[in-house]
Structure 1
Amino acid sequence: MTLDLKHIHSQLQQIEQEEGVRILYACESGSRAWGFPSKDSDYDVRFIYVRPVDWYLSIFEKRDVIERPISDLLDINGWDLKKALNLFRKSNPPLLEWLQSPIPYMERYSVTEKIRQLSPFTFSPRSSMYHYLHMAKGNFREYLQGDVVKIKKYFYVLRPILACEWIERHGSMPPMEFEKLVEQVLPNSKLKQEIDTLLTRKKAGVEFHLEPKITVINDYLERQIAYFEETAKQIAAYGEQQDQVLDALFREALKEVWGS
C-alpha cells in the first residue's frame, strides 16, 4: 500500500485546523528517506509547527508536541518551533535529519531555511556521534548476535556506524540516505560488495528473514563500535552558541506567520 502526497497534505491540513497551528515544515524521517523501505513500511511524517503568539505568553508549561495514532501506514507527529529550536541548539540529530530529508512534504515561510543555514555552526560532532553510536550498539546487541540473525537489521546498525565515520571524516551532519553513506564512506572491498548485495535485494522487495550471519559485516561492525567508543571521547564537543540569533529567529517566525 502507498499513500499519495494529497493524502499526507490533507492530514497535515486537518492537524492545523484541529490544533489551531501553522505547520512550517514537514518531511519523511524513516526508512523511506533512508532509501530502504519495506513493502509495508509506514510513512514516518515529522513536522515543525507554530502556535499563535498568546499561547507562548503564559506562566504555565504546555505540551509542545502533536501526535496522532498510526493509521493506514501513516505515522505522523510534530514538534513546536520553540521545542525544535531548543533541541537545535543542542545539535539534536533527529531534528537535523528532518531538516535535510530527501523527501520534503511541505515547507512554508522562511524559518526552516534560516535554521538550515545555521546548522553548520551549531553542529556538535561529539553529541551526534554518541547518538549514532548508541543506536548502532543497541541494534547490534539486540538483533545481530548468534550464527543466525535478522538480516534486515544490518541496515539499522550499518547506517549509524557509517554516520559515525562521516562525522569523523567531515565534522558535519551525515546525509540521511544509506546509499550515499555507503558510496562516500566505504572503499571498494568485499565488505562493500556484501552491503551492495543486501541493498539490491532490499530494493527488489525481498523480505528478509532469519539467515546465517554475514561474517565480514559482523566483524566490521564489532570493530567499528569499539573504535568509535574511544573516538567519540576525543572529537570536538560543541558547536557555536547562537542563543540570541535563535531568539530573534523565533520572534521573526511568529511575526511572519501571524503578522505583527
Structure 2
Amino acid sequence: MTDARTIDYDKMVPHVRAAPYPLLFATISGAHLYGFPSPDSDFDLRGVHLLPLKTVVGLEDGEQPIEREGVYDGLEIDLVTHDVGKFFGLMLKRNGYVLEQVFSPLIVHSTPEHEELKSIAQGCITRHHAHHYLGFAATQWKLFAKETPPRVKPLLYVYRVLLTGIHLMRSGEVESNLVTLNENARLSYIDELIDCKQTGPEKGTLDAADLEFHTHEFERLVRQLEEAHEQSELPEIPSARPALNDLLVRIRLNGCGE
C-alpha cells in the first residue's frame, strides 16, 4: 500500500503552483492511489481549477480541461484539471472517477472549499455508480486481453475497478486502494500480481497460461458487482445538487482558498 508519508509532495508543489488558474484541489490518482506503483511510475495529479468569472459568464467555454506535463526534481508529473463548474456537473452523474479524485487521501494541494466538497460529495453517491465501474472494468479487460503476452498493469486495473465498485455498492464508501480493498476481498493472487508489477518494469507480463484463470475471475467478480448493485441500499439519485450549486456560486463570486 502506498504510504502518503513516503511521497515527496514538496517536489510536486512547483508544478501545481504553475497552473494558470487557482486550484480548488490537486490530488494524486493512478497507480500511487491504487496501491501498486512501479519504481518508474509517473505521478498522475488530478484536480479542479477556477476559470475567471468573465470567462464563464461569456460565450466561450474557456480551456477544458487543462493538461500540464513535466519533470520536477526527477519526478515525472502529469497534472489534469477541470473547471469547477464542469467538475461539479460530473459529480452529479454516475462518474466514480471524479469522486475518487475528491476523496483521494494523497493530497498535494487543498483548500477549505475542498474540505467542504468532500462532505458534500457523499451525497453524490448512488447505486447507479455500479454502471460506471462495470463499464470501466469491461474497457480495462479488453486492453488486457488483446495483448500478447498479457501485461500485469491492465489486469491490476481490472481488479481495482471491480473491487472498488463492489465495495462502494456494499458500504457507500469510495475506496480506491487495491491493497486495502483486498483486506476484505482476500483474493490470494492480488499480492503476487502487485509484487510482480512493483519489483519489475512498468511493462511486466504474465504467463499466457494464466489467462484462463483470470478470465474466470473477471467474470466472477463482474457477477458479484452486478449482484451488489441489485442488493445495494444506496439512493437512486444524488441529493447533493443544492449544496453543490451553493458552493459553486460562492466559489465563482469569492474565489477559493480565501
Q: Is the 8 A contact 2:94 2:132 kept in 1?
A: no
Inter-CA distance 229–145: structure 2 relative to 1 (3 Å threshold): farther
Percent identity over the alignment? 22
* Residue equivalent to 2:250: 252
Inter-CA distance 27–122: structure 2 relative to 1 (3 Å threshold): same
Deviations for 1:185-206, whole angstroms, at most 9, x for unmatched residues? x14xxxx222222223434x23
* Residue equivalent to 1:153: 154
Q: 2:217 aligns with which of 206, 216, 220?
A: 220
Large movers: runs of 4+ above 6 Å: none
**Is it true that 1:139 corresponds to 2:133 in the alignment?**
no
| CA-atom RMSD in angstroms | 3.0
Inter-CA distance 151–93: structure 2 relative to 1 (3 Å threshold): same
Identify the range of structure 1 (221-230 vs 53-62) with the bigger mean alpha-carbon deviation: 221-230
Q: Aligned pairs, how many?
A: 246
Q: Secondary structure at the match of 1:26?
A: strand
Output the TM-score relative to the length of structure 2: 0.82
When Rg is computed on C-alpha atoms for both structures, the one with the higher figure is 1
Deviations for 1:161-218, whole angstroms, at most 9, x for unmatched residues? 1122213322x2431111111112x14xxxx222222223434x23322413165443
Provide the rounded CA distance (Å) in 2 between the counterparts of 1:138 and 1:47: 23
1:1-260 matches, cutoff 5 A:
4-15=8-19, 19=20, 21-69=21-69, 73-108=76-111, 110-126=112-128, 128-144=129-145, 149-170=150-171, 172-184=172-184, 186-187=185-186, 192-203=187-198, 205-207=199-201, 208-211=204-207, 212-213=209-210, 216-226=213-223, 228=225, 232=229, 238-257=236-255
Inter-CA distance 145–48: structure 2 relative to 1 (3 Å threshold): closer
Deviations for 1:196-250, whole angstroms, at most 9, x for unmatched residues? 22223434x2332241316544322122224545765775673334333222111
Provide the rounded CA distance (Å) in 2 between the counterparts of 1:259 and 1:149: 45
Q: Is the 8 A contact 1:100 1:176 kept in 2?
A: no
